[in-house]
Chains A and B, each alone.
Chain A
Amino acid sequence: MKKSYEKPFIKKIQVGLMNKFGAAYGRHIRSEIDGVPVAELTARYGSPVFVFSERRLRDRYQSIHQAFASRYPNVNFSWSYKTNYLDAVCAILHQEGEGAEVVSELEYQKARRLGVPGSEIIYNGPYKTMDSLKTAVQEGATINIDHFDEIYDLEEVAKGLERQVKVGIRLNMDTGISPQWTRFGFNLESGQALDAVKRLVSGKRLILNGIHCHIGTFILDPQAYSRAITKMVEFSYQVEDAFGLKMEYLDIGGGLPSENRLKGIYLSPDVAIPPMDDYAEAICNTLLSKLRPNDFPTLILESGRTMVDEAGFLITTTHASKRLPDDSRAYVIDAGVNALFTAFWYNFRVELEKDIPGPHEPCTLFGPLCMNIDVVADQVILPPLPRGTRLIFSPVGAYNVTQWMQFIRSRPAIVLINNEGFPEIIREAEGLEDLIQRERLPKHLKLS
């Protein structure tokens, strides 16, 4: 009778070693996503493959919407396209009732093409082309002005159309968040924001009707939002009293955290990240206490990562294992920072498709790129992984499938598990054709 086998290991006994790496993150086995076995997903769509859950996305929207709508009478969510502008993801959120928040003519066009009317688009960002401003004005989009040059541009558009145009302005301010985002919009404390309003009023072509402020991203302190709201409300009444302009909306931007783990924060997300209700309470209570009686301007939220991050998974496969000179264990997997851009900010949850026996040790997970920076995760505590082991990364729904790179390897497929629990492809894997289709080789460089 042969004895059962387990991968041999030897480990130096070092007191306190494990403490350095903190607690293992979350549950470690994930054999399915929304009832669809990981094995079935990889058999059908290969590896790596992004998987989005329609149910999780809708549930998340509904619960966040509920948190705010139950505390303030006039709430509107506008989907931040740059966070994830896959048609299927945008369409789900539009069906749920979100507008579109775009920051380029490309995103604007993508929203229009999907069927979002101009009047439900918020156009933000520091770089808006003349043509796109004109289109946005004609189609009734909400435009939040970023800088003085844009005031001139919009006045020219208004002049060309021979009518007045409603606009919002973006503010930046000290809310106690560091780093303070000062490069977008007009600074409040320096008086620049008031100067912008004066300039708008004197031009007579633009009518200010809203204020926008995005204080930063992954904000872990709900009170930062109360401070922002307080300043926005004070400013809007200052403008109303001085110029007779009524603010119809206060747009607080995005910035709510997802349940991801930021690098440098060793607490697990359920401890480090306040519940959404705390944010809703901080924002709505401040609004209700600062607004004048019977004044309920639309509260707009452009939440990005908090909405979609948890709806996304990436299934990957180990390709090789390595023992590094410092005795640490490493694996090469089939997706790297080319697919998972947010690996630069996050320590993802890493789950195994099935339980694997053997001693756990801290491991580094390298992507497939021949580049030193291609580290998807480090110090993940894992058992010895045979070649071909599936590793599931999450949450990866935000900022990856927009910022991913076609670099060394082409982009993987994206699958949506719909509300009925069936997987459907929503973006095909790219290949050589996608890489070369825009290239033109001059005649004299042809090699044969």
Chain B
Amino acid sequence: MNKLSSLALNEEGFVFDPTTGNSFTTNDIGLSIIRYLKEGKDSEEILRSLLDDFEIDSDTAQRDLIDFLAQLRVYRLFEGS
């Protein structure tokens, strides 16, 4: 969680990790998910927010969310579940 709170984000989807110096690019939804995580939401809450905000069915959103969190873990941007 700590790591996430230190990430710098901008509206264009640019993500900078000051501890490693790595930068990343993400899309709108990715940006929203990272923001929710920063707010401390867990994956169920994030899923609900995605369903509220976006035109998407819950199966797809859930799959994509699991996959996205896996990517964040690979980049060591996120340790939670």
Q: Which residues of A pack against B, CB within 8 Å?
A: 2-13, 321, 323, 325-327, 358-359, 384, 386
Contact = CB atoms under 8 A, between A and B. Distances in A.
Q: Is the interface of B mostly helix, strand, loop or mixed?
A: helix
Interface in B24-81: 24-30, 32-34, 52-56, 60-61, 64-65, 67-68, 70-72, 74-75, 77
B19 interface: no
Contact of A3 (B23, B24, B26, B53): B53
A6 B28 contact: yes
B65 A8 contact: yes
B38 to A, nearest CB: 14
Nearest to B66: A323
A4 B55 contact: yes
Given A10-B71, A12-B75, A321-B67, A5 B56 contact: yes
Contacts of A359: 27
A8 B33 contact: yes
Given A323-B70, A323-B71, A327-B71, A7 B64 contact: yes
Given A6-B29, A11-B25, A359-B27, A327 B56 contact: no
Contacts of B30: 8-10
Contacts of B70: 323
Contact of A13 (B25, B67, B72): B25
A181 B60 CA distance: 53
A352 B1 CA distance: 39
Nearest to B33: A8
Given A12-B75, A323-B67, A325-B74, A5 B29 contact: yes
Contacts of B72: 10
Q: Is the interface of A mostly helix, strand, loop or mixed?
A: loop
Given A5-B54, A6-B27, A9-B71, 17 more contacts: A3-B55, A5-B56, A7-B29, A7-B67, A8-B26, A8-B29, A8-B65, A9-B26, A10-B25, A10-B75, A11-B25, A13-B22, A13-B25, A323-B74, A327-B74, A359-B27, A386-B60
Nearest to B75: A12
A6 to B, nearest CB: 6
A181 B56 CA distance: 58
A9 B28 CA distance: 9
A11 B32 CA distance: 15
A9 B70 CA distance: 10
Nearest to A1: B55
B26 A13 contact: no
Interface residues of B, number: 30
Contacts of A384: 64
B15 interface: yes
A359 B70 CA distance: 17
Given A3-B55, A13-B23, A8 B68 contact: yes
Contacts of B34: 10
Contacts of B15: 10
16 contacts: A2-B55, A3-B28, A5-B55, A5-B61, A6-B29, A8-B29, A8-B32, A8-B64, A9-B71, A10-B34, A10-B68, A11-B26, A13-B23, A13-B25, A321-B67, A327-B71
Contacts of A6: 27-29
Contacts of A12: 22-24, 75
A3 B51 CA distance: 10
A327 B68 CA distance: 11
Contact of B27 (A2, A8, A13, A325): A8
B53 to A, nearest CB: 6
Nearest to B74: A327
Contacts of B22: 12-13
B55 A9 contact: no
B48 to A, nearest CB: 13
Contact of B54 (A2, A10, A11): A2
Contacts of A327: 71, 74-75
Nearest to A3: B54
A5 B74 CA distance: 24
Contacts of B77: 10
B54 A13 contact: no
B68 to A, nearest CB: 4
Contacts of B55: 2-5
Contacts of A321: 67
A10 B67 contact: no
Nearest to A328: B74
A368 B59 CA distance: 23
B60 A13 contact: no
A342 B67 CA distance: 31
A13 B29 contact: no
Contacts of B29: 5-8
